[in-house]
Amino acid sequence: MTLDEHMALMRTGAMYNDLAPELVRAREATVVLSNRYNASFGRPAPEREAILRTLLGSVGQHVHFEPTLRCEFGRNISIGNNFYANFDCILLDAAPITIGDNVLFGPRVGLYSANHALDAAERAAGGCYARPISIGNGVWLGAGVHITPGVSIGAGSIVGAGSVVTRSVPAGVVAAGVPCRVIRALTPADRTGFAP
């Protein structure tokens, strides 16, 4: 199979061979590009953005990752405008990962669209599956949040530090915990009146 054929299969949610040589080579190339991006810290913004545009599928304006950024393939990641990820972001993008505008990630956030087979023999043979992840506009993911395959986070929501998100989170809420659950809705009372 070609790399594009593997990617098409992965996007369907069907089991795929994670050990296929085409996927291994694609991951290796992604590591080289992400290392180049991470090493460019402190370089002019246009130079860093050019690397991101080569590494990722789609990149809006004002997108920044503090070192280190790690992704699996890169090509399945779409990021909107005004995105910031603090240190040590991990994006496993066997299935599409879509991130909206005005999104903030705390340190050590991980989005994992891929998972291994449950059966030990299938897992040893490289069996994996993937489900898309979607992060809405205006979302804040606190430090150490982990998002599992198939999860969506609704616009304007906040996911508290250390949460493991195994189910989708609706828009406009604060959610936290292991497993993550909705704590409360965000309300006008949450506005402090801050203005720059």
Catalytic residues: 116
State the sign of the Cα–Cα–Cα–Cα dihedral 164, 108, 38, 140: positive
> Which two tokens mark 41?
């810290």
Cα 182 to Cα 65: distance, rounded to the nearest angstrom:
27
Beta strands in the chain (DSSP E): 16-17, 58-59, 63-65, 69-71, 77-79, 83-85, 89-92, 97-99, 103-105, 110-112, 114-116, 127-130, 133-135, 140-141, 146-147, 152-153, 158-159, 164-165, 173-177, 180-185
Alpha-carbon dihedral 160, 158, 112, 84, rounded to 10 degrees: -110
Q: How many CB atoms lie within 10 A of CB 151?
A: 21
